[in-house]
């Protein structure tokens, strides 16, 4: 047997280490990596690529997360040891700081716009679906916004839990249902009883008597306002008729 043929045969008999092919796919962007992290929300499985975090889920097992990822995201997945700084970035993201980059490949431009706008909602605040639709230039697409958020592959970090129904009620949540949504919002400091009381009364906005500005309930501008200094409105026209102008921060209406 010639030396060349022997070398070819020898290389053909060499077996790659377990997981080698998957790691190569991850490095070239054809597969995503993942690990499980302990967070304030419990164990969260997080996937990422060289473009950023691509998925997150509080799964019962690694197998469940892998199956969901392959079905919904459509790429290969390999479990690895995470980068040293990723756990800290995840903790800070959940604490209200925008530290993570996201991989939204495969999502439509509309869905990407919905998710990127949702990122702007501060920790401890909520906005209605209609606000997202108006802010991205599709004011009539409220239902489509709800669908995009229901299928958000990166809940918790892209905070779809901070988006509520147009009538002010909490609504459903793709990251674990209404109870999970309530739990996360409470953890973030949202006064759910107050929010739901206003919603049941049909009151959508709160105005501050001293500034003549009206906001969405939970806007951070109202956090240090005494309850007696608030006045509440059913709609935008009622607020404007009373001489109030919309907040430039939470933007409850077009200025």
3-state secondary structure (DSSP) of residue 234: coil
Tokens 């918790």 -> residue: 156
**Distances from the Cα of 4 to the Cα of 9, 12, 14, 16, angstroms:** 9, 13, 16, 21
Q: Alpha-carbon distance 61 to 133, whole Å?
A: 35
86 torsion bin: left (phi>0), alpha (psi -120 to 50), beta (else): alpha
Mark whether 160 is an active-site residue: yes
Tokens matching residue 91: 């903790």
Hey, how many other C-beta atoms are within 10 angstroms of the C-beta on 156?
23
CB contact at 8 A, 37 and 43: yes
Alpha-carbon span 205 to 230, nearest angstrom:
10
The catalytic position among 160, 215, 219, 250 is: 160
Tell me the torsion sign for CA atoms 88, 92, 95, 99: negative
Contact 115, 145 (CB under 8 A): no
Strands in 213-215's sheet, in edge-to-edge order, are 230-233, 205-208, 213-215, 245-246
Rounded to 5°, angle at Cα 244 from 243 and 250: 165
Q: Which positions are catalytic?
A: 160
């Amino acid at each position: 047997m010639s030396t060349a043929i022997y070398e070819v045969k020898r290389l053909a008999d060499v077996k790659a280490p377990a997981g080698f092919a998957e790691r190569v796919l991850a490095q070239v962007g054809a597969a995503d990596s993942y690990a499980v992290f302990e967070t304030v929300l419990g164990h969260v499985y997080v996937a990422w690529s060289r473009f950023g975090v691509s998925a997150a889920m509080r799964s019962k097992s690694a197998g469940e997360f892998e199956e969901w990822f392959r079905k919904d995201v459509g790429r290969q997945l390999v479990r690895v040891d995470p980068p040293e700084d990723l756990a800290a970035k995840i903790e800070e993201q959940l604490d209200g700081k925008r530290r993570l980059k996201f991989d939204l490949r495969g999502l439509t431009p509309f869905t990407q716009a919905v998710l990127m706008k949702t990122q702007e909602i501060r920790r401890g605040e909520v906005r209605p679906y209609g606000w997202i639709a108006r802010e991205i230039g599709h004011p009539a697409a409220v239902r489509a916004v709800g669908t995009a958020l229901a299928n958000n592959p990166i809940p918790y970090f892209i905070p779809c839990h901070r988006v509520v129904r147009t009538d002010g009620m909490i609504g459903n949540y793709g990251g674990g249902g209404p109870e999970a949504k309530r739990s996360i919002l409470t953890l973030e400091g949202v006064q759910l009883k107050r929010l739901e009381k206003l919603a049941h009364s049909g009151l959508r906005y709160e105005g501050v008597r001293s500034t003549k500005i009206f906001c969405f309930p939970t806007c951070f501008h109202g956090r240090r306002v005494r309850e007696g200094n608030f006045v509440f409105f059913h709609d935008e026209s009622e607020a404007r008729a009373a001489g109030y102008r919309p907040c430039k921060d939470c933007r409850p209406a077009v200025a």
